[in-house]
Structure 1
Amino acid sequence: MFQNILVVCMGNICRSPIAERILQKKLPGHRVSSAGINALAGKDADFQAIKTALKHGVVVAGHTARQLTPEMCNAADLILVMEPAHIDMVADILPSARGKTILLAQWLPKKNIPDPFKQSSEMFEAVFQQIQSAAETWAEKLNGPTPA
């Protein structure tokens, strides 16, 4: 049902690339990509994001930021965003995308995934953990529970 998943944050250099790579690993039968609402298009992923993810076996190096477009929104079956305000921002780009735009952390107690850009390594670690938990929940919902 949700074969084409788009993960969105602001700059597409910290949160969404991490979520993209985790979801690609956990959802091998799905197409997962990412973009930014106000992307630093053409830039590499943030160094601290790369370093934090790598510490957990997630390779973000090689990511290049992309600007979110109406075409990307239209092609996606599911758009996962980091903050409640991003839902409206995506809808500003393509109004018909509102119904398929949901928070990445929808099923976590803390629904907002804060932007760690230019923050401490501890902040990046906390954000990574939140993204990983959210991605695991989405993988269970989309794949069914994984055997223990």
Structure 2
Amino acid sequence: MKFSKILVVCTGNICRSPVGAALLGSRCNLFVESAGLNAVVNANVEPQALALVKEKSGLDISDHRARQINLSMIKSADLILTMTARQRYEVAQIMPAATGKTVLFGRWLGSAQGEEIIDPFRKSLAVFATVHNQLVRAADTWCNKLSEPLSR
């Protein structure tokens, strides 16, 4: 299956999901957008996340404004990537039928279940850097997975 629209979800849509969406979209040349389950609508990306994605990945996401997830976004997405298992559950509460297309952003990292990506909000620059590196690794792995031919 070809994924033409991917939605990356976190809590506030100001730290992890806008960075994850930008990384995935730029690396895989796909349409990727982001939203938050408890977004401060129209808020800017956190300065630490903004600086790291620009410095380490050369991406400028300063135009991003936080958006609240809604049913229309969930319905239109071919794949929904969340940062935590709890967020995956929360997406399913909005639209139970979306459970099958909702997966951890860190699905291919770490253990068989994947890695959750913690919220760096109001934490140190070191935590933001760790999260950024995790998002980069996850985006790269997703790009590889999304480009693999399906086995029959």
TM-score (norm 1): 0.94
Matches within 5 A, 1:69-80: 69-80=70-81
CA deviation profile, 1:33-85 (whole Å, cap 9, x unmatched): 00000111111111111011111112221111000001100000000000111
C-alpha distance in structure 2 between counterparts of 1:4 and 1:62, whole Å:
20
Secondary structure of 1:129's partner?
helix
Distance in 2 of aligned mates of 1:3 and 1:27:
11
Q: After the TM superposition, which residues 1-148 of structure 1 pair with which residues of structure 2 at under 5 Å, given as runs? A: 1-28=2-29, 30-56=30-56, 57-109=58-110, 111-144=115-148
Name the CA distance, whole Å, in 2 between partners of 1:53 and 1:8: 17
Q: How many angstroms does 1:27 deviate by?
A: 1.7
- Stretches of structure 2 lacking an aligned partner (at least 5 in a row): none
**Greater mean deviation of Cα atoms: 118-127 or 91-100:** 91-100
Quick one: distance in 2 between partners of 1:31 and 1:93? 23
| Equivalences, count | 144
Q: TM-score, normalised by structure 2?
A: 0.91
Could you tell me which runs of 5 or more consecutive residues in structure 1 were left unpaired when the two chains were aligned.
none
Q: State, as a whole percentage, how many aligned pairs show the same letter.
A: 42
